[in-house]
Amino acid sequence: MESSRKSDKEIILEVLKPSGSKLNAKHPSTAAKTLGIDFRKRRENRLVAIKDSFCRVLIDVTEKHRKANLPQSPQANGTKIHTIFSDKINKGTRDGTEGEMLTKLESTFSCELIQAEVSISGNSVGRRSLGRQVDFWSGKMDAVAIRRPHEGALEVFVVDWKTTAKSDVSDLAKWWTLAENFKTPLYQCLVYRELLQAHLKRYNVEALVGIILVPLHQSQPRISYPGLCVNFKPMEDLLVNLKDYKWLSILEESNNFRTIKLPCKLFQEKLNTAVYVDGTNILKAETRLKDILKDDATVEDLLQVLYLPFSFLTVEEIKDEVNKEEEVNKEEEAVSE
């Protein structure tokens, strides 16, 4: 990406352009169940890791906007405040109660909220120990923020508003002490972080990617207790399951897929691509190997073309099982006669 004459904001907004979606996508909000660790084990150490990773600050604009008109029901407050935040971020306005809260957030963390309701998608490819499992993820980040502290490295943040109605966390400081409160939004943002890093890498944009969690209580929407994390070393223990995967902006980047350039010593010289290859240049699954491979093609040729080690293919004796299956088939044929 040509970035010499573009601002940080312009660069990141270009990276964040919608890239489409697929059916059967996994939503990052489900990540806590499959990629999250069990906070009941080593609970104190892991809560300390969260505390050490996040810079947290209380933001309270109650006094200045005490007479502001907000929805009456807590649930309506939660939905409404998300909508208002998104509208003000995308329009670049900061008026009213919610505008003041956004301004406080930006000034507190020296960042700029550049876009809200940001769609993003990508793939996770499991390491070989996981059987090369491939999952497609798609979701919408509440907002994205950027900053460049002291002319240093560009930092990009996944921002998540988390409204709660639980009476035991009306004091928002308690929200950060209970894994049942922050685990789901934490891992949701961590997946978004992986996807965002993959997109930045694809566009050759050098940036650190962090997250900002912003808990708010629905009964007191003028108070928030946001936490910012850009240094994930203290919580490395919480990220082990995410690191079992390679995260890609598009699937073609995966090591699971190979492009074979023709001609090559593996395929027949007169390979009819119109017959054996589909419109996306992928070999058709029903293609018979004898129809496309050279007569003298070897296993070594195959492994070299696919960049695989010679130890990749192994053979296991299953002679007994094959003989038993043949005997069963003969018995069934005899009965049918």
Token couple for 105: 């957030």
Query: What H or E segment, with its residue span, contains residue 140?
Result: strand 134-147
What pTM does this model have? 0.72
The DSSP code for 191 is H
pLDDT tens digits, one per residue of 275-315: 888 766 677 878 888 888 888 888 888 877 765 656 566 77
Token couple for 2: 């040509």
What percentage of the chain exceeds 90 in pLDDT? 44
pLDDT tens digits, one per residue of 145-189: 999 987 789 999 999 999 887 766 567 888 998 888 899 999 999
Query: 12-29: buried (b, 16+ CB within 10 Å) or exposed (e) per residue?
Result: bbebbeeeeeeeeebebe
